[in-house]
Chain A
């Protein structure tokens, strides 16, 4: 048999039909649903009088619109002040009830950001095809699943047919050799990858992340990497299955048990790229060379090392690129040539589907332990990715560390990653954020986002500007 990549193997296993016109029907094992991109899909299903194809493939939780303060959350739906947001969350509840779909509701202890909760519940399994009306669905590739975001028309298509019409993407391998240095994390690695290949570098590809540095990462770290595959233009990111994967999954509620587990493990161990398989493109990085990363502009590819500075647009020869840099610096209120460590912050956001898992919170807490947030910081939020992450963090006393340092400890949700709920950044404010997008207006109208790791965000909170976390003991 021809040598195949991991992507080839999952694709082949789910191919219902290859059509003559070049498209394929691909079977979908898991469909994750949240409140923002699903209401129109359910409505479409109802209007066309179509049935739901397979109820138990669906898994829902509200995350984008929900409030993150305890006082509001205690009131349930009534705690959502914005009536439009409230209706959207209510609509998800109603649709799940009507179609008999599994839902972790707003105040369920297991609720959270769908990309945190899916893996946590074992609803994400190796070798699955997973979709969700959300571009960060790529996160689930960390467990060796083929996972990507879809639009609402496709959400409806999956509800009605359990399939997607797809064209196969090309294969790219991003290999990170060596080992990360202390203080440098998965977030820095993925920002460095995006800095190298650009935000469209992965367009048309499924990226497999491999190499010694990826294999050494925990599942949480791999999720951070795959989460941002979309920021490099690739709809899906993947990491091969190994013992780290299997150990993470074992015993989770949706994972198979007993004899079925043993059978699954045999199958899952084949979910690696064959040695002789060919990739259409190979990108290599050396982990030791990666320093803590900070974005300075309005696209994730506008990134520099903590020891570096903002590029001077005058030195850019390409006119379009020069224009992009000028536009970004104007929006960010920054000058070319400024040292990254001289960028001052007003706000700190630790959370999002990129960095809100227990490991991220431990990393941030270690930095702020026994210290105080700088006086110049107006707002510093820590938003755990799920109710279970929050519970675990509280059991370890992390909440107390954060609160003592002057950070706010919130309830789980997407929060200020996209600022759809009340957690918004003011115009002109600079935020050190552990999220995934630094687009104009992303965290609030006129708001200025700098993407960093949890440790770097925590260090910036204490110092009021960016500092090299490697030098903090």
Chain B
């Protein structure tokens, strides 16, 4: 038995009082694709950042090819053949591909010969792996999929033998994911070792030969992928058994209550991001908006919820025109008409993270009885209500006086949901309800949305997670470049079909 290419022993790391990694042991064998799976905040990224030299462990040892090494900075890791593709790409947007790749490894003080040589070497690498990247293109002109390839190319050029990818598929269309997996498999065949960090079970089953599971900063299991199943892995991740499928009753469609006619919306930079969009939602129906991030979903939701100006077109609620370019209702008036909004970016728009949980739980309704009377807050009433609702929504820890930012992503989302759903809205706009939310909470949130639908609400769900769209929606529209490029009843639709639409090809 050869020694593993990468071996971690008793790694510990804490940030302040939070221990992100506890006594982690991990062995990764050469020439394999090794998955590391765990919920958000389980410590996967921290662990790999330690391997990449970005963070320094408080204790523990790292061996590469059986030799103990001391990683003080990413430079040490790169020299030892470790490359990492981060979740948020580490690229300078106004630099060219070439400039980004040679950064830090220029090999000469004044650009000249070595730059030419680097270019030739890179062109060869591109040909070998079929990358099809223009080295002189500026990063900001490239699609997300291409940027990721630049990151991979960067690691390869720097001589990576071990390539770590942190949640690489989060921003890709299914087709781009296929391409990526093809590249990763061919890298494996060349003898490179791949470490895939993900929270998506399906990717683990598809691609890896071995998998390690993390939970709350600890390594809770290692197994060969062929010996396990999705259900088993999910259970290891969460620590209890979870339901991976959503139970959904047959749709009981009511009349159309929300209608959008020829809507166009501009963003802050005055670029038209939503182009002539038409849609309608019936009561008792979930309409899913699929699309790659940045194709106008954000601006559409903002316009519908009254926080962004309508450029042209109009919005109807119960047959009454509520917004057009001249006048629009603000979020408060919309709330009174029965429209609720769970914003995409909960840190920025859904919550005030420095406030206590009970304050966020009633925010927006704080001036209404029973929470306040003649402009004075009724703290007793608020606390009572908070205790009740936090129990009902299973918010952990169940302490209304805790500062909101101390809750996990999933629990913060539950706080928002409880606030918006408790008013029994007729129309519910939901953006990315499970982004950064752990599996256990996802199950809960999905169930709540289904309950609302069954109670007769019209729900608009925008999500970049195709699985979520497919499992919740009754009808699906796909947005690309601000336009609706396809609409399908959610019956026998495959993620491939949607993927083609999302990429703007079909």
Q: Do A and B bind each other?
A: no
Interface residues of chain B, those whose CB is within 8 Å of chain A, are none
